[in-house]
Structure 1
């Protein structure tokens, strides 16, 4: 992969990480990276191990987990992270976390009290199997 392509892919990844709650779509990310949609998706997956959409949804689920631990409702967390369909959000959350958003919110998170956010993020990061 060319160096310029990697730079543009990193910029796209950084935009997803920063603007996860905004309405992002793969074709607009590809245009910003000066790539066709198909080439962008293949290159992104080769560089980062996930498709751009999967990367975006993982960021959204991570943020939703934090919101749910803080007492937000599932619906509020869903909307806050930029998802518009509660059903799709719940399905992706369950796929990544292994339990429904409601079950995640209902269980105790006392083990994370006092843990710095950067460490808590690593410990609670959803893992794609």
Structure 2
């Protein structure tokens, strides 16, 4: 019975190895050939298996990883150009367009919003804590941490 599952586990491990390759090398010049080679699959077979495992094609996943990392860097205050090249994009305009398509806002607008949120957290921290958690901790009743909510 265990032998019947072995091929599926073996294939899954190879797909996970390719995903980890993307996670570690997303900023580099990697493409589908590089990623499929990591898993020892042909490109087209690899795309099917990867999509079945992660509900994204390898390229979609690579883009997802790059955009998520760019969000973190933008929150840290890095410039849009620096973020663009750090996460592996070759063009600021293509990075900006893709970022906007996937997040609904430009990298600059995202960064400004994140800076505004940081400032709000400094001035009104309770506003950014879920009410159920604050109530559980007793922070909403007769507390020195109470804030005037507008």
Q: TM-score, normalised by structure 2?
A: 0.70
* Aligned-partner SS, 2:18: helix
- 2:117: which partner in 1? 109
* Aligned-partner SS, 1:109: helix
Query: Where do residues 1-129 of structure 1 align in structure 2 (5 Å cutoff)?
Result: 2-107=8-113, 108-110=116-118
Q: Distance in 1 between matches of 2:27 and 2:41?
A: 23
Q: TM-score, normalised by structure 1?
A: 0.80
**Equivalent pair of 1:68/1:77 in contact (CA under 8 Å):** yes
Structure 2: which 5+ runs fail to align?
A: 1-6, 123-150
- 1:119: which partner in 2? none
Runs of 4+ in 1 over 2 A off after TM superposition: none
CA shift, 1:72, in A, is: 1.0
* Aligned-partner SS, 1:82: coil
Q: Which has the larger radius of gyration?
A: 2
Q: What is the RMSD of the two structures over their aligned residues, measured on CA atoms?
A: 1.7
**Greater relative CO (CA pairs within 8 A, separation 6+):** 1
